[in-house]
Amino acid sequence: MKIPGPVRFRTLFWLAAAAILALALALAFRPPPVRVEVGEITRGPLTVMVRDEAKTRARDIYVVSAPVSGRLLRVGNRAGEAVEAGAVVASIQPAPATFVDERSRQEISAGVRLAEAALALARAELEGAEARLTHARQEASRTETLFAASVASASAVDRARLNVRTAAAAVANAKAAVGVQQAALEAARVRLVEPAAADLGGRTVTIRAPVAGRILRVLQESETVVAQGAPVLEIGDPGDLEVVAELLSGDAARISAGAPAVIEAWGEGPPIRGRVRHVEPYGFLKVSALGVEEQRVNVIIDPVDPPASWASVGHGYRVEAAVTVWSAEAVLQTPVSALFRDQGHWAVFKAERGHARLQRVEIGQNDGTYAEVLAGLGPGDRVILHPGQSVADGVAIRPRRSVASED
């Protein structure tokens, strides 16, 4: 059966209208492209540095301590003053007597009376010994007279002389006992001396500077009683400084002696160049401001620039240190903000023909801003920065702007 021409025309018209309407509805309800920021993969220099807070300190610090216990007189020197080697920087006098409580005072007074009685007893024994010595000498004299008259025997003379020597030894023993008791009495009486009545006798021990330099800190300025070995002040050369950076042990393990470093945030001047002199072989535990226990290692950095360029920096100043652990001149690199983890692998979204394409990559060194690309991307590729939840493989995208890789 042959379809008339007008009917066929109307059918084709409505079919075309339906197709156009379906296409318009599809375009109307199609999700709009996701607006994204993109960056370009380029080659350029890349330097990986370890950064952390640090502090300056004099290379050689001499702590001057009290050689004896006593009363430290007020230290007249001030921090920053220059001193010569051997100059007197402090003086120590004997410590004053301590106060005695009433109970102890009564015990000491009883001890004094006991010592006085013992001394009186010793003196009485000395008088008896001297009397016996006098009697022995008289007996010996009479015996020798009788022996000369052939009345007494020689043995009687010997016994008389022995009695004299024995009596003399007893006198000497009694005198020694009197001396012991006199010393004990003096010791007991000294314990009752009040602090205000103590006589220092002008005895003073002087403390001298071990080296020439400047006083960095006065640890004990006011007059006080100090123990032997108590630190009084520190002496050093503030013009000969080093920088101590307390780095995490994992970062310190990547640093070797001789590595270049940069010292920043010391003032208004430009950064100071430095070089790592020593990485200490032991670590220590430090609690961060957030209460996290961290294992830290001291890394010692020597400034390379002349001291005149940072003369305003002194001992104990806070600075920021950045130590280079890896560097290369021509590295294929991507912004770190484009990276994310996909099933345990690093990946990015490439921007290709208005769509996002998932691409896994292999990453090497990372300085926190850019990362070395070992595989998966090439120069000139464009990647999506900061991909959000709305970005997925195959999603239509519209770049906001192009962010080029910096040198």
pLDDT tens for each residue of 112-130: 889 889 889 989 998 988 8
| Region of 393 on the Ramachandran plot (φ > 0 left; ψ -120 to 50 alpha; else beta) | beta
Contacts of 323 (CB under 8 A, 6+ apart): 49, 50, 245, 247, 255, 259, 260, 261, 276, 299, 301
Question: Percent of the chain scored above 90 by pLDDT?
Answer: 34
Helix (H, G, I), strand (E, B), or coil: what is residue 237? coil
Q: Of 116-130, 136-150, 207-221, 227-241, which gets the smallest average pLDDT?
A: 136-150
Distance CA 89, CA 93 (A): 14
Whether the predicted pLDDT of 255 surpasses 80: yes
Average pLDDT over residues 187-204: 69
pLDDT tens for each residue of 382-405: 998 988 888 888 888 888 754 444
Contacts of 342 (CB under 8 A, 6+ apart): 358, 360
Q: Which of 202, 209, 204 is nearest to 77 (CA)?
A: 209
pLDDT tens for each residue of 268-318: 888 999 999 999 999 999 988 888 899 999 999 999 998 888 888 888 899
Report the mean per-residue pLDDT for the chain. Answer: 85
pLDDT band at residue 28 under the 50/70/90 scheme: low
In the chain, the amino acid numbered 292 is V
Could you tell me the strand order of the sheet in which 205-208 lies? 205-208, 88-93, 70-72, 224-226
Whether the predicted pLDDT of 219 surpasses 60: yes
pLDDT tens for each residue of 58-80: 988 999 999 988 888 888 888 88
Query: What pLDDT sits at residue 404?
Result: 44
pLDDT band at residue 406 under the 50/70/90 scheme: very low
pLDDT tens for each residue of 337-367: 999 998 889 999 998 888 889 999 999 998 8
Contacts of 56 (CB under 8 A, 6+ apart): 241, 242, 243, 244, 266, 313, 314, 315, 316, 317, 319
As given in the structure block, the two tokens for residue 209 are 């500077």
Query: What pLDDT sits at residue 199?
Result: 55
| Region of 382 on the Ramachandran plot (φ > 0 left; ψ -120 to 50 alpha; else beta) | beta
Distance CA 264, CA 271 (A): 5
Half-sphere exposure of 141 (CA within 13 A, CB side): 6
CB 56 within 8 A of CB 319: yes
Distance CA 295, CA 280 (A): 13
0.75 exceeded by pTM: no
